[in-house]
A and B are shown apart, each in its own frame.
Chain A
């Protein structure tokens, strides 16, 4: 197996044993990226010299006996909404096409302290709004398993780059499924942590009550390793939660199960592709075979999730994106004659159609006379959705569902916004309830497209969630399979 396709855990061991160097590994990842990214188009940019100098610094540390742990020397890619000082930060938008981060996000700072090599900037749907990366202002990322199909989104670049061997792990952000859905479509593991576990400082805001940063990896064990490095309280994010961060990787072995696994009937109804249903059912059978108790549960307000989400997320985005006014940073229209003109024209020129649509919808649902009918009502239904989950957790440890109703679809297949929004039907509830959710690869369709299952855990109990996920992933390891490019 070439270096660029190995797992983070394997490479950490090899770096520690000094059978490879970070420079060799980083060179392999760079060469792979140059060889395949013209097809996959996962990257918005990368800085080869900067990556190699970080790798050299890692090798120097290690030679001096000062290695900083398992991430030291590992190239990790960043969704282009997470700030890395001195590097571009575009949100795949014309609005920020020339923006350079003045500082590091907290997750970036943590990864640098852990010695990781901060690698390139990964494509997404503009401002993380979309489920296919087709809304990027720059280019559409391709699914490495079928270049005619989308990688999912919004963190499509993060999922595709990892699947194609262009990074050893990547970071994404998830507001309604933007880590889990592309992970499922690209045969990698994607984790959205509990809201508040990982700092959002230095993450470009989309919907602040829903956004979370999380890792993409090839295995659940890798996910546990990376989560520990990025999690933890941060006083620069006022919604950050004070909670102890356990050694998630060690916990994989310490929590042997068996577990009670809930199957919500609302997630297996109309619209679910039969091949996805069959693959997920096989995973359920596996859990049963290792002694888990499989129980039917009900999440009766599931059908309202998409509606609630598209009120709350658009309302919050219309407020968050008001900062892009052409004054202090970002695109400023050359046509503007006065200050109002700067606002109207800079925003018109800088934002793409999906961002405009969501700003309009969000502004509408917050506008005078409509607030109670839309936003307040949505927040109340959000309570009911959250209560559904908490009620289910009285009788089960985790909930198992499909991640996406279908495998990867063809580019251009969902031109209608509502059809695209319905891609997120199984992932949205987790964000609304603030829960941790992980997508784990669980097979392939007859056409060779990856399928993922979603495991949903209890708040701040990522250690349990990862242990359940690992019990399936360690013996199956679908994520170690690689695409032909």
Chain B
């Protein structure tokens, strides 16, 4: 198992699209180091012959009839939008 020292918090915060202050980075690096240290004990377990469990009771091939169902009216779907215009969500420009 990887060493907790490898947690590059700038890289991970960028992947998570999360701006962290220098104080948060220092605090989280130390706290998550402790948690990762605790997690390290999993490396003691022999899992070479073990299948992974993603769900306790997997349900396969869940099909729905291909029939149109009523959806949310536009007004309701947009009622929590931070900014909207003409039934669309407004965001800062994406391309130059």
Chain A residues close to B by CB (< 8 Å): 98-100, 102-103, 194-196, 209, 235, 238-241, 301, 303-304, 306-308, 310-311, 318, 322, 325-332, 336-345, 347-348, 351, 353, 356-357, 359-361, 363-364, 367, 369-370, 373-374, 376-384, 386, 416-418, 421, 432-435, 459
Contacts and interface: CB of A to CB of B under 8 A. Distances in A.
Interface of B: 1-2, 7, 9, 11-13, 15-20, 24, 27-28, 31-32, 34-36, 38-39, 41-43, 45, 47, 50-57, 59, 62, 64, 72, 76-77, 79-83, 89, 91-94
A432 B56 CA distance: 7
Given A374-B1, A417-B35, A381 B47 contact: yes
Contact of B32 (A209, A343, A360): A360
Contact of B89 (A103, A240, A328, A359): A328
Contacts of B93: 338-339
Given A100-B80, A384-B45, A359 B18 contact: yes
Please give me the 9 A-B residue pairs with the lowest Cβ-Cβ distance, nearest first: A434-B56, A379-B52, A332-B82, A329-B80, A380-B47, A348-B19, A344-B19, A343-B17, A363-B16
B81 A329 contact: yes
A364 B4 CA distance: 10
Contacts of B82: 326-327, 329-332
A359 B19 CA distance: 12
Contact of B19 (A301, A345, A421): A345
B85 to A, nearest CB: 14
Nearest to A242: B59
B56 A386 contact: yes
Interface SS of B by simple majority? loop
22 contacts: A102-B77, A103-B76, A195-B57, A238-B62, A239-B55, A304-B45, A307-B38, A310-B39, A311-B42, A326-B82, A327-B82, A329-B81, A338-B94, A344-B17, A357-B28, A360-B28, A363-B16, A381-B45, A384-B45, A386-B56, A418-B38, A459-B57
A382 B59 contact: no
